[in-house]
Amino acid sequence: MIFKEFYGNTQYDQQVYRFTLVNRSGTRVSVLTYGGIIQSFFFRGIDIVLGFDNLQNYELQDAYIGAIIGRFANRIGNGVFPLNNTTYHLVKNNGPNHLHGGVEGFDRKVWRAEEKDESLHLFYTSLDGEEGYPGNLETEVVYHLDEENCLSIEYKAATDKDTIVNLTNHSYFNLNGHSFGTLEEHEVQIFGDTFTENDENALPTGKIRGVHNTPMDFRQPNLLLDRIDEDYDQLKFGKGYDHNWVIHGDGLRPFVKARGLVSGIMMEIFSDQPGMQMYTANFLNLSMKGKNNAIYPARSGVCFETQGFPDAPNKRGFPSSVLKTGEQYRSKTLIVLH
């Protein structure tokens, strides 16, 4: 079942709605037409995503909480990339780099919504030149909650001019409950044994590093915060985890398994993307309170951003993020709760 309700008006007087997907066991996911944001995700009566009770706080925050990220998730070095013998200049909004689609990325847009086949379909047209990107990009994101407590997020895009695309969702999870505090009592396993090395600005250098004998090794379940402050260059650069893991295999496959040791909730994520950024909210510093007056300090949620590799347009050897005219971008991520 899907329920629709008015949520509020943006600062530009655009109407925003909240759609809530509910299954027979009582699991429910609320999605806003503003940014395609996952505003709440209740499982066994516990809301496991950070968020806000009103639209104004979503507009004020700059942490991409719960939102669809596009056109290009993660960083593009110096806000520049080459394509078809042309150099494109994007907005720089993260030090010297372009991050998460720019100042007015997909997270700040009001999406058109349709209910179809017990799924929520969101649509947005990104115009040629928006934030510096070439081509008119027609984007669709589909949310579906099944009876096995699996939330699927499907991304589709097509362009009338060759461009780059990398879409993801930026939900902050705390499996012990959104208001639990920090990520203490979280166990994580990642199905990858290498990651893309970062420089001091969290931009990939182009090198792939192994996780063996480093605090990046989550091949077996480990407490998430157990090694986060170790004397390791990669953790120092980002004040914690903010890295892209290379995930084994191709097609729809396991990416990560996480468990809240207090709630007992386990989450598995599957995707068909080449990588996954795990971000432990190291820089979260909100001036406003979250849902039910919750306080969200740094490291109070973890993002698992299934994605193409950061800065892929500028790194030879990274999987291509180019979407050509006449082709369709398609990606799928499954979030399964137990």
Say which amino acid occupies 238. G
HSE at residue 188, side-chain half, CA atoms within 13 A, is 29
Output the tens digit of pLDDT for each of the chain's 338 residues: 999 999 999 999 999 999 999 999 999 999 999 999 999 999 999 999 999 999 999 999 999 999 999 999 999 999 999 999 999 999 999 999 999 999 999 999 999 999 999 999 999 999 999 999 999 999 999 999 999 999 999 999 999 999 999 999 999 999 999 999 999 999 999 999 999 999 999 999 999 999 999 999 999 999 999 999 999 999 999 999 999 999 989 999 999 999 999 999 999 999 999 999 999 999 998 989 999 999 999 999 999 999 999 999 999 999 999 999 999 999 999 999 99
Cβ neighbours of residue 182 under 8 Å, at least 6 residues apart? 225, 297, 298, 299, 300
CA–CA separation, 92 and 330 (whole Å): 27
Say which amino acid occupies 326. G
CA–CA separation, 131 and 98 (whole Å): 10
Q: Are 296 and 50 in contact (CB under 8 A)?
A: yes
Q: What is the fold, at CATH topology level, of the domain defined by 2-337?
A: Beta-galactosidase; Chain A, domain 5 (2.70.98)
CA–CA separation, 244 and 64 (whole Å): 17
Residue located via tokens 């379940």: 221
pTM of the model: 0.97
Q: Are 196 and 243 in contact (CB under 8 A)?
A: yes
40-45: long-range pairs with CB below 8 Å, 24+: 40/291, 41/151, 41/171, 43/149, 43/265, 43/337, 44/263, 44/265
CA angle, 331 then 106 then 326, to 5°: 50
Q: Which helix (H) or strand (E) holds 169?
A: strand 168-169
CA angle, 26 then 253 then 196, to 5°: 115
Residues 130-146 have pLDDT tens digits of 999 999 999 999 999 99
CA–CA separation, 26 and 45 (whole Å): 8
In the chain, where are the structural domains located? 2-337
CA distance readout (Å), 309 to 75, 149, 164, 237, 295: 9, 28, 12, 18, 32
Residue numbers annotated as active site: 170, 305
Average pLDDT of every residue of the chain? 97
SS3 per residue for 241-293: CEEEEECCCCCCEEEEEEEECCCCCEEEEEECCCEEEEECCCCCCCCCCCHHH
Per-residue exposure over 167-189, b if at least 16 CB sit within 10 Å of its own CB, e if not: bbbbbbbbbbbbbbebbbbbbbb
Q: What's phi and psi for 107, nearest 5 deg?
A: -65, -15
Residue located via tokens 């931009």: 203
CA distance readout (Å), 84 to 81, 142, 159: 10, 31, 15
Q: What is the DSSP letter of 160?
A: S
Task: Give the dihedral of Cα atoms 183, 186, 191, 194; nearest 10 deg.
Answer: 40
Bridge partners, 223 (sequence order): 187
